[in-house]
């Protein structure tokens, strides 16, 4: 074990940073797209059902198949991996945003409108804060998904801890596989804990969703 750490310790650190970078870029893009889109779709029942169904269908496609499709379009490297991961993690955030806004009591919306709030103010000051617990729940779920699925980014030359997994399989080295798996799990747990702290800070106690 000591010899393994001496030989691969530096690579493990750099691959962990690379894995985290790929995962978080995909997650941030998904948040930027899914939250505004989810708020918009919550106003359009039929359209939201169609969009969520399409997003759900995309999630059923095997990850390797999506990555393979990305290669002719984006080539190899981090870009196709980030695009594929974005497709996979957008659904929980989008779905939770739509549900969060739809579940807001209509009386609250009517009261805000009667006070003279514009549609933008209603969204910013009423809908978004009240939907925040569900939105953050979707983001936490997506963060775990994206970190685990980013292991396959190595398939398109994007790097990350998946390199150790595939190299370990090729070299029949269980230690390489296990070390990468442990780091991926630890990374997912750390990100989830950080997001849970953000949730505690951002969401008032009365609005928290029980888990």
Q: Residue 204 — pLDDT band, cuts 50, 70, 90?
A: low
Nearest residue to 26 (alpha-carbon basis) of 191, 181, 205, 196: 191
Q: What is the CATH number of domain 2-205?
A: 1.10.3720.10
39 pLDDT exceeds 50? yes
Q: Is the pLDDT of residue 167 over 50?
A: yes
Using pLDDT thresholds of 50, 70 and 90, give the confidence band for residue 210: very low
CA gap 33, 16 in Å, rounded: 26
Tens-place pLDDT, residues 89-107? 898 899 889 888 888 777 8
Axis crossing angle, helix 2-41 with helix 128-149, rounded to the nearest 10: 140
The domain limits of the chain are 2-205
Question: Rounded CA gap, 150 and 164, in Å?
Answer: 13
Q: What is the value of pTM for the model shown?
A: 0.86
Query: What percentage of the chain reaches a pLDDT higher than 70?
Result: 95
Q: In angstroms, rounded to a whole number, what is the distance separating the alpha carbons of residues 179 and 171?
A: 14
CA 56 – CA 200 distance, rounded (Å): 29
What is the pLDDT averaged over residues 155-160? 85
DSSP one-letter code for 155: G
């Amino acid at each position: 074990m000591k010899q393994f750490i001496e030989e691969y310790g530096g690579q493990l650190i750099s691959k962990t940073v690379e894995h985290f970078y790929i995962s978080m870029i995909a997650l941030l893009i998904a948040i930027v797209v899914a939250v505004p889109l989810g708020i918009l779709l919550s106003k359009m029942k039929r359209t939201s059902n169609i969009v969520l169904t399409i997003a759900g269908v995309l999630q059923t496609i095997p990850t390797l198949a999506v990555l393979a499709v990305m290669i002719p379009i984006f080539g190899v490297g981090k870009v196709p991996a980030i695009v594929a991961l974005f497709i996979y993690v957008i659904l929980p955030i989008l779905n939770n945003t739509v549900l969060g806004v739809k579940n807001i009591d209509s009386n609250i919306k009517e009261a805000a409108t009667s006070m003279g709030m514009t549609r933008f103010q209603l969204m910013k000051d009423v809908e978004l804060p009240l939907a925040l617990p569900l939105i953050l729940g979707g983001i936490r779920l997506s963060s775990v998904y994206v970190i685990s699925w980013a292991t396959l980014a190595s398939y398109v030359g994007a790097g990350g801890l998946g390199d150790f997994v595939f190299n370990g399989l090729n070299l029949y080295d269980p230690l390489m596989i296990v070390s990468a798996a442990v780091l991926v799990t630890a990374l997912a747990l750390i990100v989830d804990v950080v997001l849970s702290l953000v949730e505690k800070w951002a969401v008032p106690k009365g609005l928290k969703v029980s888990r």
